[in-house]
Structure 1
């Protein structure tokens, strides 16, 4: 690979989702450490936003956002028609002329969380057919066992990928069951490499962090699984009230995603209203802080319980005792790799106020032991995230050597 490779970071979402921002910023730092002169293009999906809502750069590198049309919308039908007549080229292909590698950074795009990932496999095939390396970067994959025919297709396609950097052991094990082994590397999510940005605690709404607090993160996303936003809002308000009564420290609500269609801040404002409003016992971080700033905020907490995966990664990587409220395989895999068990995972289906309080109290009671364990394992997780760039260099060099062998 040359001294200044161009990496196209594709598939990530808007930075208004601070998890996506953490992936983008963390990946930038990882690549820059291994390739100091590298160039990057962040080719992210807008998910219904206007281009003006996305920054022009991330860490100094340009953002080229794509509008992602919703299934069965007029734009989606127009795209399907263009494909039928041979004019439906994926936008990322327009960036391949100078690209050294395409990194697919979406994290969970190759799962069933959003339906069958047929479009993602189509993009991968188009990039590879164009002669460019295609890398799944910090990814969770599958399982596709609910769709046996698609699973067989996926297994064959995944073998073609240049490199798969899997962020959990469970993904590596699943790929092995499909016979996908030679191009797989176990790494940590790139957000483990994210550094926090210190804030002035005299800033409005942050003074509470001068004392021990329990942080809680919930979102309206789970209502898509639960089926009723009003019911889920009431349930979360009940959880917050119960935790505030049970612990001898303030409860801080921490939003982590600020997209119009699934805004944690708006959701948590409604939750706060249903608890009776702000008080000395319950407060809200009522501002759209960046991923770096939120990591600093979370690092100040005595304990944290969160539904957003990258909010919990920010907590765990800051050595904060953490309860993951799971709605997908991501939380399960990450916790199993860090703790070797699922003691600190609670399914949203089990998140009744009394059960939640019991888990939080147990976490606080064992906080010293949990922090000590995190202090032992997180440095290796962080280094595993950085190691992915070295593996990428070796993989590309090996492929080029094979191509040059007569």
Structure 2
């Protein structure tokens, strides 16, 4: 690799309303800067409008917004031309979207883009992410073809690696989510008189998923769970409750913010976090909490890596896969627990948060080792 070599980013966004997707991107860009001594150019490939990259670029890395419009022939020609310039493309599929769990349409679309990057880039790498589940046979066939033909593929959890091996007979390295490396600043701006409990309410789960009919097959009634949890916490005079949206889009099934505003109006003693501009702002605010629980994976990763006692609310196996990989079993499994069991367990974890803190501290060395090994592998890939 030489000065001004071009790297492609796929499945990574910097201007999404979803702070989790952005956190993954900021973190990998941060890691990439540590892995190279050369000056690089990064094309961020995504469907949409171009965004301002000035605050992302550094002395070593120039970030270029490489948007495309699939309905425009000239735009797609430009896309192919840019992909051909890439010595290597890294694809993260937003961390958890290399699966048909969110629908076949989106899965096939993302896989077609993977095929394009694989065909035209010098090398194609699947970064640490969740693989599967693949419920449809055609999804299994497509996923196997992509994983087999990637120049390198790795997982962020053992469960995904074991799943891929059992389904396809493919072994892969296991690291962890790169968003653990996201920088933050704890400004200690919030009052310290009470214990601060942060709750991330997922707008997606609140609405029953994209389909609106309990798409993820939860046993927990999510709305009842959130309301009961807040009601119980409000009774405790030594606790301040903060509702912290992590998908701050104004509209859409994904938006946490509209739901969070609604909840904040219903409960007198609940504080609403501001609408964040980037994932570093989000993590910095979450870092002020004493305890944090949420259903957005990267909101929990932000809390965990900032040293906040974290209680992930799990709607898919990606949560158990990631956290058990770190020796941290304190998730709320919404596919197995009843609503009342989930409320009781969350309250118990909050009450006995010192026990969770001990397990969390042990996990930090595991995270550090996994991220360090991933950086070594990225450096090798860049220098081959």
User: What is the TM-score when the length of structure 1 is the normalising length?
Assistant: 0.79
SS across alignment from 2:125: strand
C-alpha separation in 1, matches of 2:338 and 2:46: 32
Aligned match of 1:8:
8
Aligned with 2:266 (options 265, 270, 274): 274
Distance 1:382 1:63 in 2: 29
C-alpha spacing 1:271/1:55, structure 2 compared with 1 (3 Å):
farther
Counterpart of 1:322? 310
Distance 1:241 1:365, change over 3 A: closer
In structure 2, the residue matched to 1:214 is 197
Tell me how far 1:396 sits from its aligned partner: 5.8
- Paired position in structure 2 for 1:39: 40
1:109 aligns with 2:97: yes
Give the CA deviation at 1:5.
3.7
Offset at residue 332 of structure 1 (A): 2.0
Match of 1:347 in 2: 334
The 1:94/1:377 distance shift into structure 2, 3 A limit, reads same
Question: In 2, Cα distance between the equivalents of 1:232 and 1:362?
Answer: 18
Highest CA radius of gyration, 1 or 2? 1
Equivalent position to 2:147, from 158, 166, 176? 158
Q: Is the 8 A contact 2:88 2:121 kept in 1?
A: no
Q: Distance in 2 between matches of 1:42 and 1:138?
A: 19
More strand by share: 2
In the alignment, structure 1 residue 194 sits paired with structure 2 residue 182: yes
- Asked if the contact 2:186/2:288 (under 8 Å) is kept, the reply is no
Tell me by how many angstroms 1:268 deviates: 0.5
Give the distance between the partners of 1:119 and 1:96, measured in 2 at CA: 17
Q: Is the 8 A contact 2:332 2:342 kept in 1?
A: no
How big is each residue's C-alpha offset from its partner over 1:168-211, in whole Å with a ceiling of 9 and x where there is no partner? 11111112121222xx321111101111123361xxxxx33564
Q: Distance in 2 between matches of 1:301 and 1:159?
A: 43
Task: Give the 3-state SS of the residue equivalent to 2:153 in structure 1.
Answer: strand
- For residues 163-242 of structure 1, the aligned pairs below 5 Å read 163-177=152-166, 178-181=168-171, 184-199=172-187, 201=189, 207-208=190-191, 211-222=194-205, 223-225=207-209, 227=212, 236-242=226-232
The range that moved more, 304-313 or 290-299, is 290-299
What SS class does the counterpart of residue 101 from structure 1 fall into?
A: strand
C-alpha change, 1:130 and 1:286, in structure 2 (3 Å) is: closer
Taking a change above 3 Å as real, the CA distance of residues 298 and 340 of structure 1, as seen in their structure-2 partners, is closer
Is 1:142 the equivalent of 2:132? Answer: yes
Q: Distance in 2 between matches of 1:46 and 1:235?
A: 36
Change in Cα spacing, 1:377 to 1:5, as seen in structure 2 (3 Å) is farther
Asked if the contact 1:32–1:38 (Cα under 8 Å) also holds between the matched residues in 2, the reply is no
Q: Distance in 2 between matches of 1:148 and 1:368?
A: 45
The residue number in structure 2 matching 1:127 is 117
- SS state of the match for residue 136, structure 1? strand
Mapped partners of 1:174, 1:362: distance in 2: 32
Q: Secondary structure at the residue paired with 1:214?
A: strand
Q: Which residue of 1 is the match for residue 218 of structure 2?
A: none
Q: CA RMSD in A?
A: 3.0
Query: SS in structure 1 opposite 2:239?
Result: coil
User: Do the aligned partners of residues 92 and 388 (structure 1) sit closer, same or farther apart at CA in structure 2, a change above 3 Å counting?
Assistant: farther
Q: Point out where structure 2 has 5 or more consecutive residues left out of the alignment.
A: 215-220
Q: Work out whether residues 200 and 244 of structure 2, in 8 Å CA contact, stay in contact via their aligned partners in 1.
A: yes
Q: Would the alpha carbon gap of residues 115 and 255 (structure 1) be closer, same or farther in structure 2, given more than 3 Å must change?
A: same
| 1:139–1:166 CA contact under 8 A, matched in 2 | yes
Q: How many residues were matched structurally? A: 365
Quick check: 2:200–2:296 contact (8 Å CA) kept in 1?
Answer: yes
CA contact (8 A) 2:203 2:255 kept: yes
C-alpha separation in 2, matches of 1:323 and 1:196: 20
Distance 1:67 1:200, change over 3 A: farther
The counterpart of 1:59, out of the listed 56, 59, 73, is: 56
In structure 1, runs of 5+ residues without a counterpart are 69-75, 202-206, 401-406
Give the distance between the partners of 1:316 and 1:381, measured in 2 at CA. Answer: 11
Q: Displacement, 1:358?
A: 1.6
Structure 1: distance between partners of 2:228 and 2:24: 32
Match in the other structure for 1:312: 300
